Structure 1
Amino acid sequence: MRKIVCLALCLALLAQPALALPEMGTLYAKSAALYAANGQELYSYNADEPLQPASVTKIMTMLLTMEALDRGEVSLDTMITGSEYACSMGGTQIWLEPGEQLTLDEMLKAIAVGSANDCAVAVAEHLAGTEAAFVERMNTRAAELGCTGTQFINANGLDGMGQKTMTTAHDLALISCELLRHPKILDYTRIWMDSIRGGKFSLANTNKMLKSYQGLTGLKTGYISEAGFCISATAERDGLSLVAIVMAAPTKENRMADATALLNYGFANFTAYTLPDDLLPPVPVTLGRAAFVQPQMEDSGSLIIEKSKAAALEPQIDLPESVRAPIEQGQPLGELTVLSDGQVVLRVPLVAAEAVECKGLGELFSGLWGALFCGAQENQTN
């Protein structure tokens, strides 16, 4: 492995004395977490305590819906039919009638903006056949994302017959970060007021922070009496995207205060820095149809770092002298280690930005023949 040590990154505008992060202060909620959208944990408070998420459950329902959209299994114009069961949900709803059809676009709007329990179940039934089958997908997907304290029982977060959805602030943050990989969802979660059914039914967003917090983008509020007031609050400023999770706050005001404190803490103390394009050198490829493969960071390409450490960053890049084809897109190539004052602040896997196929037998033979022919010509010349 060769090691390339670059000069300290120039972040003079962000430079501050290297001090420990300040304390968050007292939160009202039983549990809270602050993450960067790339999945990097920035702060946690009782984040592994299992609690009820109420309607924040719907972030997983929306995630599975967006993934189905990406796979082409449905489109925003797909008509979703309200079943007798979906229409019986109660709680926050748009009063679907059995047999009523709305587009998936309207259903998503009702779920994200109005927190419609009936629409969440109708979409679940359409995607998986039954809500029970959809719940299996929810739990499987949660496990794939590394959620260890989550058990969904339905698509909307209501209590069931002697059952409760349980999750943790840590797990909700992971699900929220994954949902943010589908930026189309923000077209719905950022809506303040809208309507469906041809303008006959009005929707007002349950997330009142959209009007009070600069840069807020979503994602979902939740409340039932046993769960208290919960939220997955996402916001973006100056290229830094954050996820704040608040669970079991005593009041709406406490929920908003905690989410605001978490996001303020994140924006005050962390920054996103994107590495220059020329920092990662291409790696030579042997026996490949391309001579080089470009490494890139496994995540979005941004590092989330403490502002107090930004002035003294020193990246170290470990890459092989060469790699052999075939190479798959996303295949691990090496590692980027970021140091500050000699201390490791971040390790980021480096992966192949594109696939490189092996040369075919004809290409290999042609290359060998060309090398032999050129060599023979040189000998004749000499």
Structure 2
Amino acid sequence: MTFKIKKLLIGAIALTLTAQPIAFSVDDIPVQNIHAYALYDRDADLFIDTMNASTPMGIASISKLMTAKLVMDDLKNGTIALTDQVPISSNAQSQDGDGMRLRAGESVTLDDLFHGMLICSSNDAAVALSEYAGGSESTFVNRMNSEAKSLGLASAHFVNPCGLTEYDENHDTKPDQNNMSLMDINRLADQLLTNYPELTKITSIEHWQYEAKGLDKKNTNQLLWLYDEVDGLKTGYTVYAGYCQIVSATLCELQVDNGPFQSIYGAAPLSTVDDSRHIFASVLGAINKTNRNNTLKAIINHAKSDMRVYPITDSQIPLYTDTSRNFSIVPTENISLFLPKDAEISFQLMIDPIWQTTSLIAENTNVGKVIFYNDQAVYTEVPLTIRMLAPDTAVLGDD
């Protein structure tokens, strides 16, 4: 670990670096038979390692995450309810895949359809939900694309709510398919779980019984059986997209390294450092299930064994103190980074000069930010604020 300490910078000085995937080299992740992969730290909103993650490509049933979001939005708004009886159309029945074996003319509870879509990746359930929530499948697909635009998912494009490949009358693959970059998939999944964390109560179910038809459906996410930390999220496969998956996991009892923090402050953090981390591991275009699972396992194992939690700011400890005017400059929140043990971290303070040009120093005034980065990209930015000192208070970090 290298930690470079930069001197205090005065004025509006901008780094030329921009936020982007850090892309550390991980030698043991099998990349020969996949199109893209990513390791994403939800807590820091940081892509730690990626390959081809910004390239739009087929996503198969991962499309159902957007379908799930819109359904959850409608449930929250009260326009639909889990107890609603959803009529099944011939269009829903006609969808490929084993699914829930829905038949036109019957009615199924929305709750059952939602479970079937997320646990056993039922295409008929996804279409039935789209028709009920949207009025028609095409109207719902328009909502999917509008929602993607509003969320800033520039690579996202949907032509159906389930992710099946679209074919023309000659059974040739149409050029227009469900596509998205892996980075945007991770952002969508993060939005979904941030707004609806209860969703993992469904996606973590290993076996689900659809009693109305005597079906015992196994979750398509095989990593649920391999890692206690995994709680979802979504698999997918079509010939067009290959084998795809995004996995949600909460890693606990990770190793914490206070070395970089002590290099700044000369002391350990005063606040308790959380040794858990919420991550996504994701793959697109794997050649088969085994290759998909092996890649995901390698990403998760790397995160568990080769990475460290590095506290970098503590709102109780100032980064600058002016004893003559009785105030300090502190980060607004406690932040840690989840990075490989050999990562480089540098920082710079970007301070608004207003605190030097006026005698009016007020508590909680925003005075700039501290930026943490390496030589390729910015890790994160933390706002800085004024904190007034009690008289005769000794403070770590005195200037």
Give me the TM-score of the superposition, normalised by structure 1. 0.71
Match of 2:338 in 1: 305
- Partner amino acid, structure 1, of 2:278: S
- Structure 2 matches for 1:1-382, cutoff 5 A? 21-25=24-28, 26-27=30-31, 28-38=33-43, 39-161=45-167, 162=174, 163-181=176-194, 182-198=196-212, 200-238=214-252, 239-267=276-304, 268-271=306-309, 278=316, 303-306=336-339, 308=341, 336-339=369-372, 346-348=379-381, 350=383
> Does structure 1 retain, via aligned residues, the 8 Å contact 2:344–2:374?
no
Give 1:127 deviation, angstroms. Answer: 1.2
State whether residues 114 and 203 of structure 1, in contact with CA within 8 Å, keep that contact through their aligned partners in structure 2: yes
Which amino acid in structure 2 is aligned with residue 40 of structure 1? L
Task: Assess, with a 3 A threshold, how the Cα gap between structure 1 residues 66 and 99 changes in structure 2: closer, same or farther.
Answer: same
> Residues 99 and 175 of structure 1: is their aligned pair in 2 closer, same or farther, counting only changes over 3 Å?
same
Mean Cα deviation higher: 149-158 or 43-52 = 43-52
Structure 2: how far apart are the matches of 1:304 and 1:115? 34
Distance 2:112 2:312 in 1: 36
The CA deviation at 1:339 is 4.0
CA 1:323/1:85 → structure 2, altered by over 3 Å: closer, same or farther? farther
> Residues 57, 340 of structure 1: CA spacing in aligned structure 2 closer, same or farther, 3 A cutoff?
closer
Letter in 2 for 1:247: L
- Worse-superposed segment, 138-147 or 201-210: 138-147
Query: Which structure shows the bigger proportion of residues in helix conformation?
Result: 1
Deviation at 1:21, TM superposition (A): 4.9
Structure 1 residue 109: Cα displacement: 0.9
Q: Partner residue of 1:8?
A: none
Instruction: Name the CA shift for 1:343/1:262 in 2 (closer, same or farther; >3 Å).
Output: closer
Distance 1:347 1:81, change over 3 A: same
Aligned partner of 1:371 in structure 2 is none
The CA distance in 2 between the partners of 1:251 and 1:333, in whole Å, is 52
Q: Unmatched 5+ residue regions in structure 2?
A: 1-7, 9-22, 168-173, 253-275, 319-330, 356-360, 386-399
Q: What are the Cα deviations for residues 18-47 of structure 1, in whole angstroms up to 9, with x where unaligned?
A: xx9553444131111221224321111011
For the Cα contact (< 8 Å) 2:370–2:383, is it kept in 1? Answer: no
Is the Cα contact below 8 Å between 1:335 and 1:347 reproduced in 2?
no
Q: Is the 8 A contact 1:63 1:179 kept in 2?
A: yes
When the two structures are aligned, how many residues end up with a matched partner?
Answer: 313
In 1, Cα distance between equivalents of 2:93 and 2:384: 47
The answer to whether the 8 A contact 1:337-1:344 is kept is no
Gaps of 5+ in 1: 6-19, 281-294, 325-331, 353-382
